[in-house]
Structure 1
Amino acid sequence: MSRILIVGCGHLGSAIGIRLAAQGHGVWGMRRDPSKLPMNLNPVEGDVTIPNTLRRIPDVDLVLYLVRPDRDDEATLSGTLTRGPRYLVEAFRAKGLRPKRFFVGSSVSVFGDRGGEWVDEDSEPKPRDAMAVALHAGERLLREAEAPVTVLRYGEVYGPDRPGLRDALRRGAGVFPNPTAHANLIHIRDAVEATLHLLTRKRLEPLYLMVDRKPAPRLEVLAWLAEHHGAQLPAVDGAVAAPYDVRAMSERLVESGFRFQYPTYREGYRRLR
């Protein structure tokens, strides 16, 4: 069994931590307010944007970094997504600790707008919005730090208690941008299980795309959701650019032995009510 630190225990990080603890691993969770951690995670108080708060980091085998900013201003994005992972590596080194591997959560949005072309782990990132730029810069800084790193570029995570296309549709939320842009999705249960699968593997690649097996145009997904959940198809505006448009492939994840419970949005959303 391994000792694992999860930095950034939001919905995904907490779900992963609970599963790891149930399997018998020693799990620590870091948050600015550790009182919000699940009870079966060992609490660690820390703020990745303030290096001197990271002195309480435990001696662990693996680190999973899933911090997401609570604001979208440049300083917050840079602090949490770009400098934060590097500060964490430096904090471990300052204490003479050497985790076997750092896993860092990123996003397929770093590929930018490529007109819906297929991308895989060998495709060049071309981030265009501020969050994607900060995420990609964080990936690059970690590699330059020469730490053992595996980057996990997640698609849009959806599922119970996760606001997403279905919930926006039910609320009648505004106008959706560029309906031909593709949605790269992954159900929360698959996101959790795929991450667990990689955390427990001995042989790893430096990068995985964490998406389901069928990227689809957003309009297709919206139309299917409207039909199956009794909602009205919202207005769409092709003149408004989506933050990114690619079709991400998860072949590397599947070749590692992972099997999806919800291989497409249809299986995943059909279970949601």
Structure 2
Amino acid sequence: MLSDLVNRSQPLARDARVLVLGGGYSGGHLTRLLRALGTTVRCSRRSLSSPEADLVFDSTAGLIPTSRDLDGITHVLSTIPPTTEGHDPVLTHLGSQLKERSLTWVGYLSTTGVYGDQQGRWVSEDDPANPGQPRSQRRHACEQAWLDSGLPVQILRLPGIYGPGRSVLDSLRTGTARRILKADQVFCRIHVDDIAGACLHLMHQAAAGPGPAIVNVSDDRPAAPQDLLQYGAALLNCKLPDEEPFELASHSMSAMARSFWSENRRVRNTLLCQQLGYALLHPDFKAGLQDCLRQESQSCS
């Protein structure tokens, strides 16, 4: 819960000015955390009518923040995805302006998909990227562009993101959940609270100097998707959907869904949680789904 994260977090220095480029699910959560702590934040969306929006960034429409919009910024987080050609819109349109500023920290949200299929093996930041899916190849190209930019960049590699309004609880409620069984298949996840919390933690760490270039932001417990469904159904006291063997279910999946199921890996968070000292607010899916249910119940009361 964001209030729990606020209560245990420390604000940045008084002169900190944060620019969040892409204030959607993850970027918006960080924006709300920082504002609750009293930090000045500028947050971009494609429209000023969107939640949290202070300025507009829509490269496809030619709507780009001005130099004045970037005045005074000390920290930047970019959540904006690559173009279909694999280019980074932020570096393309704002890279030169960012380089003119004295930035303490620049974060780029990427994906653990850049590790590719590991057949269930554990991976860490020391393992080479081996992206198999075109979308992951585009992400890896953008990672490299950021690392080559000369900016004080940290790449945050994220697995599946969940949180209130975006979890198995929602698909169970709507009857769209599918209990697909594939032997030894696991997925890794991270609660949106811990994305925001990790970003803030790494911003604090950067005050003492540059940190590691790449950081996995994942929870402690890779798990089979049916384990989440079973636990979610118990929380909601609802019936589980019927089991579907993957071999049959795959025929009715979208190409995107099949691509997710084609890769299997476990992602280590040792660097973030043990070496850099970040304590996960939701260390596994059980804690995270309990939080989702609590937040959603409060929003309906």
TM-score under structure 1 normalisation? 0.84
* 8 A contact 1:155–1:185 mirrored in 2: yes
Q: Name the counterpart of 1:272.
A: 292
Cα 1:49–1:185 change in 2 (3 A) is same
- Indicate the RMSD between aligned Cα atoms, in angstroms: 2.5
User: d(CA) in 2 for partners of 1:45 and 1:3?
Assistant: 17
Q: How does 1:101-120 map to 2 (within 5 A)?
A: 101-120=105-124
Cα 1:135–1:236 change in 2 (3 A) is farther
User: d(CA) in 2 for partners of 1:30 and 1:269?
Assistant: 29
Q: 2:246 aligns with which of 238, 245, 248?
A: 238
Q: Name the counterpart of 1:172.
A: 176
* 8 A contact 2:168–2:177 mirrored in 1: no
User: d(CA) in 2 for partners of 1:142 and 1:124?
Assistant: 17
1:50 deviates by 6.5
User: d(CA) in 2 for partners of 1:244 and 1:156?
Assistant: 13
Deviations 1:203-235 (A, max 9, x none): 421111111111112233333333443231344
Q: Name the counterpart of 2:221.
A: 214
User: d(CA) in 2 for partners of 1:166 and 1:175?
Assistant: 13
Larger Cα-atom Rg: 2
1:49 deviates by 4.9
Higher helix share: 2
User: d(CA) in 2 for partners of 1:26 and 1:271?
Assistant: 27
Q: How many residues align?
A: 260
Deviations 1:46-92 (A, max 9, x none): 224577724344131111001248xxxxxx4446xx32242255241
What secondary structure does 1:116 align onto? coil
Contiguous gaps of at least 5 residues in structure 1: 70-75
214-223 or 13-22: which moved more?
214-223
One-letter code aligned to 2:233: A
Q: 2:57 aligns with which of 33, 46, 58?
A: 46
Contiguous gaps of at least 5 residues in structure 2: 1-12, 251-257, 294-301
Q: Name the counterpart of 2:70.
A: 58
Cα 1:49–1:151 change in 2 (3 A) is farther
What secondary structure does 1:5 align onto? strand
Identity score, percent: 24
